[in-house]
Amino acid sequence: MIFFQQLLNGLQLGSIYALVALGYTMVYGIILLLNFAHGDIIMVGAYVSWAVMTRLQLGPVTAVFASILLCTLLGVIIEKVAYAPLRSAPRLSLLITAIGVSYFLENGAQLIFGADGKNMTAIFSIPNLTIGSLTLSSTALVTLAVTILAMMGLLVLVHKTKMGKAMRAVSEDMGAAQLMGISVNATISFTFAIGSLLAGIGSVLYSNIYQMATPTMGSMLGLKAFVAAVLGGIGSIPGAMIGGFAVGFIEIFVSAIKIGQQSLSVWRDAVVFAILIIVLVVKPTGIMGHKVREKV
Amino acid sequence: MRDKYKRIPVPVRYLINAVLCALFLVIVQSLISGGAISRYQSGILAQIGVYIIMAVSLNIATGYLGQLPLGHAGFMSIGGYSCAIFMMRLSDKLGVETADLLVPGLIFGGCVAALFGLIIGIPALRLKGDYLAIVTLGFAEIIRVFMLNIDSLLGFKFTGGAGGLTGIPRYSNFLNVFITVILVCFFIHTMMKSRHGRAILAIRDNEIAAEASGVNVSYYKTLAFVISAFFAGIGGGLHAGNIGVMDPTKFGFMESIEILVMVVLGGMGSMLGSISAATVITIVNQALTSLSEYRMVIYALLLIVVMMFRPKGLFGTYDFSLNHVMERLLNRDFPKRMNRGAKK
């Protein structure tokens, strides 16, 4: 019984990692940027949920839409203001800018809202499902269902629509795509919008589970989601899903292990990063990734 | 025909620089012993020295090699803990003063940090792309968790856990910190002028071209990264002796970013830039402790703005060289834009 519940917990946590990992993988796939600010977009989304529900008392539906919309907007604004002027700059400059943006969002939130966490009520609450002696958390089921739907939507978008074709073309060869009449800037902005939209959904699901917003919540979440993206194979959408669930499971099971009297839960972050290092040694392309040949 | 461009021979250059460094040390030290610089101020001076070591060591990996390690504070933490624990344990065993063990202690701390640099550098630097950033970040996080929780797993007092490692003798002072600073800067300077340094710079400028010219890219990347980690470990060791406490939570992501801000602001690839930015930022941090929240936001904005408008940092890759200035003065009558050493 406990095993099933832990399995469901793993799926729930893994769903959120997968949603965030998708944003990383899409942005990395298109402009080869490790977008450090991606995790912090989730933090902003959580604060928006808190502000709408607790401060403005506007109800959960508004909160969901407001935080998803604002996350999407924020992602596009970050791209336009901070990353677009550096499109031809060296990769190192872009990466440092991304760190600057992430650091700015975290410390800005700390300045405005204070370092202590903000508690909120659950956004939606449905009674738990009971099958025989097994109680399934409905939050976990909703999280899982929303994640799977979002991913299916994303796959359709990338593989069946014109915009998706443009995204794949830009990620393959930016110069050639431009020559074929694809607006590279619009496509990159669109990619950021979709990635941030998924982060917004992730943020709603996350604040529904943990019901708390802190300025630094995004950084660790984002880093682990990046580990998930690397584990699955960076640039690959199914890879991000698999990697996300894998990291979720690993974390839940490490927390559940006990040596003598001690729980190993304090070590779970260390284990996740150790896995990243092992993956990079054994199979740097990840589970679903493919090798990219370097051209001079 | 005009006279030849006058040059200063190499031993004389080194002699001049050594005399100037010694003069600086003697003057400040006599000010400290004379009481003109208070105990508190000399503590801050030592702090500045520690951060100069941290910034110039990160500059090897970021400025010269062109990689972005985000776990420099992790190496500082490893160096600090291992140096402090080594010195404390050994001085108990041998019954000597802790301060006498400073040199072996610092070398030990540096070597432990370098060993960890080797372990994570080999897998991460083999790959193209930004993996080093994320691996070093994750590594620093592992170190933090390790230092916090290893005591409860081992069952005896080793790192001090969440309370930190306390009771470290204050073995660092202005003199030994700045002697180390000078030695570290000298080593980095000479290394960068050697063929190994040139190989590292070639990798930064164009990895594929460097590889095609016969530079062993993986070897030199790892070498530069390990040296960077080694000096970070030494910086950590001096930090432990200056503060007297090792607090594991201090060496998180924030600390790594602060060191990165120093390097980026000063100019990636400029030792003068790293040294001056480390000095200014450490003093500003001390002066603005009450405004620490604003400070962080300002640093973040500075990073973004500098990357947009002056991506090379304040000094770019420019480095001050006393020798160049003196040779210029010796050859005042020489035409300014003359191509030195060119054909007649």
Which residues of chain B lie closer than 8 angstroms to A259, CB-CB?
153
pLDDT digits (tens, 9 = 90+) for B80-99: 999 999 998 888 888 777 77
What's the pLDDT at B286?
85
Using 50, 70 and 90 to split pLDDT, how confident is the model at A278? confident
Structural domain of residue A43, as residue ranges?
A: 14-217
Question: Could you tell me if residue A83 is inside a domain?
Answer: yes
B129 interface with A at CB cutoff 8 Å: yes
What mean pLDDT comes out for the span A254-279? Answer: 80
Distance (Å) from the C-alpha of residue A241 to the closest C-alpha of chain B?
A: 20
Question: What is the percentage of chain B residues whose pLDDT exceeds 90?
Answer: 37
- Asked if B300 lies within 8 A of A107 by C-beta distance, the reply is yes
Using 50, 70 and 90 to split pLDDT, how confident is the model at A292? low
What's the pLDDT at B343?
43
Question: Could you tell me if residue A120 is inside a domain?
Answer: yes
What mean pLDDT comes out for the span A280-292? Answer: 75
Measure CB to CB from residue B131 to each of A89, A262, A280 and give the nearest one: A280
- Long-range contacts from B3-8, C-beta under 8 angstroms, 24+ separation: B5/B327, B5/B331, B5/B334, B5/B338, B5/B340, B5/B341, B6/B327, B6/B330, B6/B331, B7/B327, B8/B323, B8/B326, B8/B327, B8/B330
Name the phi and psi angles at A231, rounded to 5: -60, -40
B131 interface with A at CB cutoff 8 Å: yes
Residue B275 to residue B284: CA distance in whole angstroms: 14
| Nearest in space to B170 (alpha carbons), one of B243, B100, B222 | B243
A86 interface with B at CB cutoff 8 Å: yes
Distance (Å) from the C-alpha of residue B344 to the closest C-alpha of chain A?
A: 39
With a cut of 70, say whether residue B339 has pLDDT above it. no
pLDDT digits (tens, 9 = 90+) for A161-197: 999 999 989 988 888 999 999 999 999 999 999 999 9
What mean pLDDT comes out for the span A43-61? Answer: 88
Which residues of chain A lie closer than 8 angstroms to B142, CB-CB?
269-270, 273-274
Distance (Å) from the C-alpha of residue A138 to the closest C-alpha of chain B?
A: 33
Which residues of chain B lie closer than 8 angstroms to A294, CB-CB?
128, 208
Using 50, 70 and 90 to split pLDDT, how confident is the model at A276? confident
Using 50, 70 and 90 to split pLDDT, how confident is the model at A115? confident
Question: Could you tell me if residue A68 is inside a domain?
Answer: yes
Using 50, 70 and 90 to split pLDDT, how confident is the model at B342? very low
Measure CB to CB from residue B123 to each of A93, A107, A277 and give the nearest one: A277
Question: What is the percentage of chain B residues whose pLDDT exceeds 70?
Answer: 95
Report H helices in B161-291: 174-193, 195-205, 207-212, 217-243, 253-266, 271-287
What's the pLDDT at A294?
52
Report H helices in B288-321: 292-309
What mean pLDDT comes out for the span A145-153? Answer: 90
Question: What is the percentage of chain A residues whose pLDDT exceeds 70?
Answer: 96
Helix (H), strand (E), coil (C) string for A204-248 = HHHHHHHCEECCCHHHHHHHHHHHHHHHHCCCCHHHHHHHHHHHH
Nearest chain A alpha carbon to B294: A111
Nearest chain B alpha carbon to A295: B208
Residues in chain B: 344
**Token pair of A244 as six digits:** 């996300």
What mean pLDDT comes out for the span A264-282? Answer: 83
B123 interface with A at CB cutoff 8 Å: yes
Helices (H) and strands (E) in chain B, counts: 13, 0
What's the pLDDT at B344?
41
Mutate to test the interface with A, among B120, B127, B206, B303 (most CBs of A within 10 A): B303
What mean pLDDT comes out for the span B127-149? Answer: 83
What mean pLDDT comes out for the span A116-123? Answer: 80
pLDDT digits (tens, 9 = 90+) for B211-264: 999 999 999 999 999 999 999 999 999 999 998 888 888 888 888 988 998 998
The total of structural domains in chain A comes to: 1
With a cut of 60, say whether residue B1 has pLDDT above it. no
pLDDT digits (tens, 9 = 90+) for B142-181: 888 888 888 777 777 777 777 888 888 888 888 899 999 9
Using 50, 70 and 90 to split pLDDT, how confident is the model at B2? low
A-proximal residues of B, 195-234, CB under 8 Å: 208
- Asked if B66 lies within 8 A of A262 by C-beta distance, the reply is no
Task: For residue A136, give the 3-state DSSP assignment.
Answer: strand
Of B281 and A234, the structure prediction assigns the larger pLDDT to B281
Question: Could you tell me if residue A206 is inside a domain?
Answer: yes
Question: Could you tell me if residue A254 is inside a domain?
Answer: no
What's the pLDDT at A74?
95
Residue A13 to residue A5: CA distance in whole angstroms: 12
Question: Cα–chain-centroid distance for residue B289?
Answer: 23
Question: Could you tell me if residue A107 is inside a domain?
Answer: yes
CB A21 within 8 A of CB A225: yes
Distance (Å) from the C-alpha of residue B29 to the closest C-alpha of chain A?
A: 38
Question: Could you tell me if residue A145 is inside a domain?
Answer: yes
Using 50, 70 and 90 to split pLDDT, how confident is the model at B76? very high
Which residues of chain A lie closer than 8 angstroms to B302, CB-CB?
100
Report H helices in A173-183: 174-179
CB A188 within 8 A of CB A178: no
Asked if the ipTM is above 0.90, the reply is: no
Question: Could you tell me if residue A167 is inside a domain?
Answer: yes
| Nearest in space to B126 (alpha carbons), one of B201, B218, B209 | B218
Using 50, 70 and 90 to split pLDDT, how confident is the model at A29? confident
Out of A45-54, B32-41, B62-71, B83-92, least confident range: B32-41
Of A30 and A74, the structure prediction assigns the larger pLDDT to A74
With a cut of 80, say whether residue B319 has pLDDT above it. no
- Asked if B307 lies within 8 A of A110 by C-beta distance, the reply is no
Question: What does DSSP say about strands A258-259 and A262-263: parallel, antiparallel, or unpaired?
Answer: antiparallel
Nearest chain A alpha carbon to B313: A93
